[in-house]
Amino acid sequence: MKNFQYVEIIKKKFGAIGVEQQIPLITRNKYFIASMVTEGIRVDNLGNNPVLVWEVFDSAIDLLIRNGVGIPVMKGSAMNNLLGDPGLPLDSIEGYVGQKVFQKQVGQVVFRRISPIVGILRWAGIARNGKGVLILQ
CA distance 76 to 96: 9
Quickly state the pLDDT bin for 2 (edges 50, 70, 90).
Answer: confident
- Predicted local confidence at residue 26, as pLDDT: 85
The total of other beta-carbon atoms located within 10 Å of residue 56's CB is: 22
Q: Name the residue range of residue 31's domain.
A: 3-136
Query: Does the pLDDT at position 20 exceed 90?
Result: yes
Q: What is the mean pLDDT of the chain?
A: 95
Does the pLDDT at position 3 exceed 80?
A: no
pTM of the model: 0.94
Residue 123 confidence (pLDDT)? 97
Whole-number pLDDT of residue 4: 78
- The DSSP line for the chain is --HHHHHHHHHHHH-SBT-EEEEE-SSTT-EEEEEEETTEEEESSSTT--EEEHHHHHHHHHHHHHH-TT-EEE----TT--TTSTTS-TTSHHHHHHHHTT---TTS-----HHHHHHHHHHTTSEEEETTEEEE-
Please state the domain count of the chain.
1
- Classify residue 117 by burial, with Cβ atoms within 10 Å: 0-12, 13-18, 19+: buried
Q: pLDDT of 29-84, one tens digit each?
A: 899 999 999 999 999 999 899 999 999 999 999 999 999 999 999 999 999 999 99
